[in-house]
Structure formats: structure tokens, C-alpha cells
Amino acid sequence: MCPSLSSSLELSWIKSQNRLQLKNHNLMRRGVAESHNQAKLKKKIHFKIKGNNLFLGEGFSLHNKKLGASTCWITIFVAARKKKMNQTRLELCHEPLKVSRFSIVPEKLGDVVILVIRIGILMCLIASISLAVHSAFSKPDRWFPLPEHIRTVQNTSVIESGPTNISHIQFGIAGSANTWHARSNYSNLWWNPNTTRGFVWLDKKPKILHTDMLVPYKISKGWSRFKYVHSASAVRIARIVYESFKLGLPNVRWFVMGDDDTVFFPENIVTVLGKYDHNQLYYIGGNSESVEQDVMHSYNMAFGGGGFAISYALAAQLAKIMDGCLNRYFYFYGSDQRVWACVHEIGVPLTREGGFHQLDIRGNAYGLLAAHPLVPLVSLHHLNQLKPLFPNQTQMHSMNKLINAYHVDPARIVQQSFCYDHKRRWSISISWGYTIQIYTTLLIAADLQMPLQTFRTWRSWSNGPFTFNTRPMSSDPCQQPAIFFLDQVTKVGKSGSITVYKRYESNCKKKDINKVEVKRIRVSALKLDSDYWKKVPRRHCCQILGGGSIKNGSMDIRIRKCRPQETITI
């Protein structure tokens, strides 16, 4: 039923405020009114009653407004006067009304529910469009920010298929602001800014930065909150694995850790790591050369100075437990020992690769590099604590010379070959790119491949034991082999090389014609393919050219693959 009035209402129209004063407000609270002016022109007026005020909205027309159970028109007759106040008579007209599609405020509870649903659908539509636009221009891990300890394992690396190459390796070099300036020269030897990826991690911003420092740096964060017994830097360095993973660089398969005085041989690292599946849990490295160090720390630990490699899959697991693990093992001495303990909590053993060299030795590393094991040379450490690799040169000059040979034939560097001069009863051992030894007696291959002990143990400076067998080096220069050191290296074509080794004059005063007459040895070899290391390795043979003739103090030797039935026999 339409609401009705028993009589017309007297209204006062205050034109300046666009409202009518009611003397009787027993009227519907909202609706559509139809006004008649003096010209009898009908005009629909939206009105609203609040208290004793009737508010008119000129120009609004709401059709089909539901008024209770039925609809009707409300007609307001306005008698326009010339004075400020006008008298108006309001009547109700029982006339059907069309339902409005856009009602502003509904009268029934059902209308309220419908309005809420419409607003909810509109908000959902706007939110969906916003999310679609946002996701198209942002990374997925930024849609909904995660807590720090969870977000660290959300690495965004996209792993490519195919063989491992240098771009798949991220290096984490442990350094400090105080030592980086002096030790950065070692990293400059092997770091290629066009291909090598990674950072040196420092404790604070270095005071001096030079343009010749090729390795970019980052500042370690969050390490000072961990407790420790021996060294705070050990905690910081142990977290480099965590912080490197957290960076989320794309296409990373391996994380290789080392010190700022470690010299890596990147192409050989690629060769070694290429044998393993980075999607599996791998912890790869080497032990200390000194047994006393391995007993003190662990035989199952990769020593950090020589470097170690963590597969992407293992790094993801370590990132989840690293901080808690560091708190549990606060009493350990070194950073590498902490990483080892955390890796073993995951249940992963050490995969040993003999090319990682901690060089926990004192004195001269010559004997070890002259008889390098049959594996690719991956790293050298503690070079500042050892005598220069080449006589009468600084260690930096020595390493420059070794690196130059490495660039010519990376897979062959310091690889040992044997051959014999049966006429002279000579045994010849060649460590390609480094040194040649000539013995005036015939030695079996098992002895030649055993390093001369030119060094002592790391901690006690004793004569052993070591993790490999050694031969004694006589203190009498006349009892030592004739030693030749690399003098020149030349690349021949695309697949060959010639290296020249010059005789090192010892202090032996005795005349020995057989030894004195050789002053220079020239060695030719084809470039060793890195695929050589993917198979079971076999030591290459060497052959004395020209029937063993010595011309102008020079001897020529060729290194080649051993024939199928060939043996290295006295």
C-alpha cells in the first residue's frame, strides 16, 4: 500500500537553502516527488526527509522506487510567490511506479544484501585486474613478501640444460678490508671480468679501491650477532655460502668458495665440476696435505683455503639451516669446519678431488708440483707462506709465469710425463708448464711419480707425515737431479704448443759431462682436450727426438698419447 496523508501538509520553502520546513513529518523518508509551478509544468524532484526537514534535489529522477509493499508517485504542488517564503501543499497520488535500477539507499534488508554483493563483485573485479597487471611487471616472489628466513631459500635461479661452463659457477671469495688491497693481486691473476661471476666478501667497505681490482666486492651482513669462541671472522666467512645463495643470481649451478690468497684455475674447475650433477647434493674439495691438520680438524672436511664447491641443490638445503647451525657449532675454530659440520647434518659426505691444494706445507712446494697427481690443477693456496715457485723471482712473478702457461693449455698444466734415454741411462720427468728433472740413473715410474720432499708439515715443521708418499731430497746439490724451469711458452696454431725450459745452475762443483751439456730443453705437445678428464685418465708418454742428440746444449722432446701397448719401462 502507498503511504497516505489525511490532509495536505503546510510547508515553508526556504529557497536559498533548497529545503522545505515541515510542520508535520509523518511522511515517507525518501522518494520521488513531482512538482507543479505556476505554469503547471510538471518536474520530478528527488527529496529526502530527515527530522523536520524536507531536502529537495533539483534535477534528480529515480523511477520505480519501492515504497513499502507497493509503489506510487508523490506530488508536491508548489505555489510560487514573489516573497522570500512560499507556501506549499503536499499530496500523495496513488500511481504505480516503475522500479529503479540504480537506487541509492534501499528500504528493505534484501536490497541491502544485493547492494553489498554488487559492491563485493566490483571490488573483486578491480582486485583481479590489479593483480594481473602487477604480476605482469614484477617477480613472483614479490607478490607476497615472505619473512627473511623463508625468503632466503626462494632462489630465482633458472637452471639451463647442457654442459657446465664458467657462467654456471659463482665464486665466493673470503677477504677483509685490511688485507684485500694486498691480496687482490692473486685474484687478478685468474679473474676474468667478462666471464667470471661472483664477489669477494669483506667485513666493511675498504678505504682504498683501485681500478685494477677486478673482483667486485660485497659487505657481509648479519654475522656479528652470532656467538663464537675463537674468531668472529670465521662465522662471517662460513656464511658466504648462505649469502651467495641469497643473491639469487640466474643460472648458477655451483658455488665455489676460497680465500683472497687462493689462485684458482677456472677452466679446470669447470672440467672437474662438469663430471657431477648439480641437481644432486655435492660437497667437493680436498684435504690438507699435512696429516696433523687432518687429524686436528677432519679427514672428511674440505679445507677452505684450497677451495671447495657446493652444488646448487646442497646450497639450497644449507641456506635453510645455516644460521641455526652456526649457533650450534660456535666453538669450532675455522669457517670451513663450520660448513663441514652443517653439511654433515644434511648427511652429505665429502667428494674428494685431488686438484684442490690447501698447501698446508712449509718451505718449497716444488716437489709437489713437479710430481702432481694425475688430476687437473684446480687451486693453490698459502702461496705467501711458501718460497717462490721459480728461483730468483717473487712469488707474484712466479705465478704470472705459471698462469701464462696455463692459458696456453689449461688441461695440461703441471701434468707429469716420463721418458728414458737408455743410451745415457737417464730418467726424464716433465711437469708441463713448470719444470723438468733429469736423473742420471734409471728410476722406475713408481718412484718418478712420487714427489721429492722439498717441504715440511704446516704446524710442526716436521718431515711428515703427509697424505701422500714422498721421496727424500738430498741436501747435497750433486746428488740432486738436474732441474730445468720454464723459460718460454709459445702457442703453435690452434692446437699445439712449444715450451722451453732453461737449466737451473746448482751449487754442485763436480764436473758431470752428461748433465752439463744440456742447457735447454724444448718440449712440443698438442693441446690436451678437457674431455680427457672425463675418461679414466692415463699418463701421457714422452719421446726424445733426434735420436737423443744434443745440439748447442739443446734437447727436443715430444709429449704424446701412449700407444695402446706402450709402457713406461726402464
Which string of b and e fits 336-371 if b means at least 16 CB within 10 Å?
Answer: bbbbbbbbbeeebebbebbbbbbbbbbebbbbbbbb
Residue 48 predicted with pLDDT over 80:
no
Grid coordinates standing for 326? Answer: 652456526
Residue 136: predicted pLDDT: 65
- Amino acid 160: pLDDT: 63
User: pLDDT tens digit string along 402-426?
Assistant: 999 999 999 999 999 999 999 999 9
Return the pLDDT at 151.
43
Please answer whether residues 434 and 486 qualify as being in contact, where contact means their C-beta atoms are separated by less than 8 angstroms: yes
DSSP 412: G
**Which band of pLDDT confidence, cut at 50, 70 and 90, is reported for residue 4?**
very low
41 has pLDDT over 60 = no
Residue 242 near residue 152 (C-beta atoms within 8 A): yes
Helix, strand or coil, per DSSP, at residue 287: coil
Residue-wise pLDDT for 197-246, tens only, equals 999 999 998 877 767 678 999 999 988 888 888 888 899 999 999 999 99
| pLDDT, average across residues 337-358 | 96
**Residue 491 to residues 498, 527, 540: CA-CA distances in angstroms?**
7, 9, 19
Q: What are the tens digits of pLDDT across the range 432-486?
A: 999 999 999 999 999 999 999 999 999 999 999 999 999 999 888 888 999 999 9
User: pLDDT averaged over the chain?
Assistant: 81
Predicted confidence (pLDDT) at residue 320 exceeds the cutoff of 50: yes
In this prediction, residue 395 carries a pLDDT of: 96
Residues 6+ apart with CB under 8 A from 68: 1, 2, 3, 107
| 8 A C-beta contact, residue 304 and residue 204 | no
Q: What is the mean pLDDT of residues 122-144?
A: 68
User: What pLDDT does 83 receive?
Assistant: 36
Backbone angles phi, psi at 87, to 5 degrees: -100, 135
Distance CA 433, CA 439 (A): 19
- Looking at residue 495, the DSSP 8-state letter turns out to be T
Residue 327 backbone dihedrals phi, psi, to 5 degrees: -70, -35
Predicted pLDDT of residue 272: 98
User: Which residues, other chains included, contact 285 with Cβ-Cβ below 8 Å and sequence gap of 6+?
Assistant: 302, 303, 306, 307, 308, 309, 350, 351, 352, 353, 356
Share above pLDDT 90 across residues of the chain, in percent, rounded to a whole number: 61
C-alpha cell at 497: 704448443
Q: What is the DSSP string of 348-410?
A: ---EE-TTEE---EEE--HHHHHT--SS---EE--GGGB--SSTTS-HHHHHHHHHHHHHH-G
